[in-house]
């Protein structure tokens, strides 16, 4: 049974006491993940939220994705950040499957590749690019943390953007069985850039949305493509920002 330490609020006395010793640990320290499907896998301590190596990171979503993955699947991790869900998917699909991880932020890409390397994963391909509607150069704005950057016309970085349909047409990527997407508000544009691929392969989608407007537009778009959208872990679709979309 996984203990959800990440659910302890940081502003409470217990939350502060729980987190205080973690600040003393070197950020470059490599530690084993303590629980869950990735128990025993290696994690760079300062690469992201401490919940990752504690095994409690986004626990309902983690459990739902793990339960949905099958050995031999092709999984896309769009907005892979430093690789927690990439590692999860790589373990789930096994040696007969494949994970394609998309991440545009250079610092995150370096950590993502490090996590793949130290865990000796041979079934992961990292594509250092943002997924959007069109293929070409784009501007990327770093956020307050490594997990919150997004494409923006006023962004400080130039990155590569790719369309899923363009990559598939060029033979660069296979057809996925499952897509996890969390790209800080770019989800609707990314879906539009993969319309043909989604029509062909009908993958299961785990989608994070980042505003009521984007959430509504993504739900409407997916429903028009014959998907059934539900809130993650039984949450109400109208109020959640995490949804699961299943093909009819």
Q: Encode pLDDT of 5-62 as tens digits.
A: 666 666 676 556 556 566 666 778 999 999 999 999 999 998 998 899 999 999 999 9
The pLDDT confidence band at residue 147, using thresholds 50, 70 and 90, is: confident
DSSP state, residue 103: -
Q: Encode pLDDT of 175-230 as tens digits.
A: 999 999 999 989 999 999 999 999 999 999 999 998 999 999 999 999 999 999 99
Cα gap 127→168, rounded to integer Å: 13
CA 67 vs. chain centroid, Å, equals 16
The pLDDT confidence band at residue 2, using thresholds 50, 70 and 90, is: low
Domains of the chain by residue range: 10-247
Q: What's this model's pTM, rounded to 2 decimal places?
A: 0.90
Record the tokens describing residue 166, joined without a space.
């363009």
Tell me the CATH class for 10-247: alpha beta
For the chain, give the mean pLDDT. 92
Q: Quick check: 54 and 5 in contact, CB under 8 A? A: yes
């Amino acid at each position: 049974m996984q203990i959800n330490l990440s659910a302890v609020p940081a502003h409470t006395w217990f939350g502060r006491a729980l987190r205080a010793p973690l600040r003393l640990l070197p950020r470059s320290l490599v530690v084993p993940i303590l629980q869950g499907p990735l128990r025993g896998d290696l994690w760079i301590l300062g690469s992201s939220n401490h919940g990752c190596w504690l095994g409690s990171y986004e626990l309902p979503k983690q459990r739902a994705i793990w339960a949905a993955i099958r050995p031999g699947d092709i999984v896309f991790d769009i907005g892979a950040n430093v690789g927690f869900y990439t590692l999860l998917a790589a373990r789930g699909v096994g040696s007969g499957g494949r994970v394609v991880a998309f991440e545009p932020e250079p610092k995150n890409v370096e950590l993502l590749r490090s996590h793949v390397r130290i865990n000796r994963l041979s079934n992961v391909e990292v594509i250092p690019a943002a997924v959007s509607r069109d293929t070409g150069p784009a501007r990327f704005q770093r956020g307050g943390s490594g997990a919150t950057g997004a494409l923006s016309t006023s962004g400080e970085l130039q990155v590569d953007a790719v369309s899923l349909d363009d990559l598939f047409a060029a033979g660069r990527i296979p057809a996925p069985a499952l897509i996890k997407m969390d790209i800080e508000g770019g989800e609707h544009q990314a879906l539009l850039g993969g319309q043909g691929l989604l029509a062909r392969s009908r993958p299961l989608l785990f989608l994070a949305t980042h505003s009521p407007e984007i959430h509504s537009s993504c739900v409407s778009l997916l429903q028009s493509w014959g998907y059934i959208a539900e809130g993650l872990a039984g949450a109400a679709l109208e109020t959640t920002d995490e949804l699961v979309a299943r093909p009819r």
